[in-house]
Structure 1
Amino acid sequence: MKLVIHGKNIEITDAIREYVDQKIEKAVNHFQTLTTEVDVHLSVARNPRINPQQIAEVTIYANGTIVRAEEGSESLYASIDLVADKIARQLRKYKEKRFDKRHETLKAEESLSDQQPVVTLALDRTPELPPTVVRTKYFAMPPMTVEEAMEQLELVDHDFYMFRNAETNEINVIYDRNHGGYGVIQPRNNNGHTHHNGKNGKANHSVSERESFKV
């Protein structure tokens, strides 16, 4: 397992590196076969008005899936403890989903279901952008279904997840709605139409009211 540790506004001392290595290794001990790389980002806020002050973020690359957790407190070591516990829970959830999916595949011939979870778009959020770009992230974007994107959203500890829609090959964003459920943002083409057809060219109404923004 490859472990990479980054620091922002903090020196990564041997003591910190050893503590991170100990905690993260314990957290992923039962998931070694799934984990290929662990990226740890530690940061300390310079502005005293920002709380929590010390943040620990862990990103795990597991067989093409990204599992992420972030925690903060007034102590860097406490933040590392918290994020190690959280990432272990996230990995456990990911492993359970993999098992359930394999189990469902075995029973697919006995019972087939075309139902999909309801995904709607809320327009009650006002987008806010930071004054400057503080971090740039790059990651692979293999095509996936909305349902697979929902699973990824639960694993990355964010309130949104960007993915390439397997049906349309377009970039979509799925996010947690303020009042519950999920929303999907899709691009709108020049003629004002959106691509939301299901199989065989039929409109997919099982995922209700997927509205779109012009991008």
Structure 2
Amino acid sequence: MQIAVTFRHMEVSEALRAYVEEKISRVKKYIEEPIDAQAVLSVEKKIRHCAEVTLVAKGITIKGSDETNDMYAAIDGMVDKIERQLKRYKEKIKRHKPVSERVRQVEKTVFAADSIDEGSPEPVVIRSQSFSVKPLSVEEAVMQMDLLNKTFLVFSDASTNEISVVYRRKDGNYGLIVPETK
């Protein structure tokens, strides 16, 4: 776990740095993947103590902050908010189970680009891989795509049992490609 602590408008304190690192390391029990944490501690108008943190882990970004008149209380409040968000996220993942166990087999094949460009009758296969696709709802597919940190995900739609594609657009939104039925 990588934790970076930044101090703004206040003296650098090793005791506060150690306290923040100890408190933020508690969230490891919710996410097993490597976690990057950026904590910012600041004092505004000499009485308002602010603690903010941004966690990036397993394809998700979670932000939390708290303001009080005591820095240690602000850190505790900020960590409590982050823990609540992570608990909610973990429960959401547990609740999203496939509707049934209908599994489809899909084959992924990678061709050599120059064999296709030259117009040869048989394209050269570099790699071929077969994998199973479980039925998911669109929301589950988006969540899986985020968790896997992918730009697109091919999945079997649980409601129609058709192969669909969900992808991340350049503007940050999501797109869905559904096959046309005739």
Q: Tell me the TM-score normalised to structure 2 length.
A: 0.56
- Mapped to 1, the partners of 2:42 and 2:152 lie a distance apart of 32
Residue 199 of structure 1: aligned partner: 178
Give the whole-Å Cα distance in 2 for the aligned partners of 1:82 and 1:92. 15
Change in Cα spacing, 1:61 to 1:197, as seen in structure 2 (3 Å) is: closer
Q: Secondary structure at the match of 2:18?
A: helix
Distance change in 2, residues 1:17/1:113 (3 Å):
closer
Report the counterpart of residue 151 of structure 1 in structure 2: none
1:107 aligns with 2:100: yes
Sort the Cα spacing of 1:54 and 1:199 in 2 relative to 1 into closer, same or farther, 3 A. Answer: same
For 1:61 and 1:21, the matched residues in 2 are separated by: 15
- For each residue in 1:16-59, what CA deviation from the matched residue of structure 2 results, as whole angstroms up to 9, or x when unmatched? 11111222223x141251342111111111387xxxx2111111
Write the letter of the residue equivalent to 1:17: R
Structure 2 residue aligned with 1:37 = 36
Equivalents in 1 of 2:6, 2:50: separation in Å? Answer: 12
TM-score (norm 1): 0.48
Q: Which has the higher strand share?
A: 2
**Residues 159-190 of structure 1: CA deviation (Å, up to 9, x unaligned):** xxxxxx937x34157xxxxxxxxxxxxxxxxx
Does the 8 Å contact 1:9/1:46 carry over to 2?
A: no
Q: Which runs of 5+ in 1 are unaligned?
A: 116-140, 146-164, 174-195, 202-215
Q: How far apart, in 2, do the equivalents of 1:7 and 1:31 lie? A: 27
Partner secondary structure for residue 171 of structure 1: coil
Which of structures 1 and 2 has the larger relative contact order (alpha carbons within 8 angstroms, sep 6+)?
Answer: 1
2:28 and 2:83 map into 1 onto residues whose CA distance is: 9
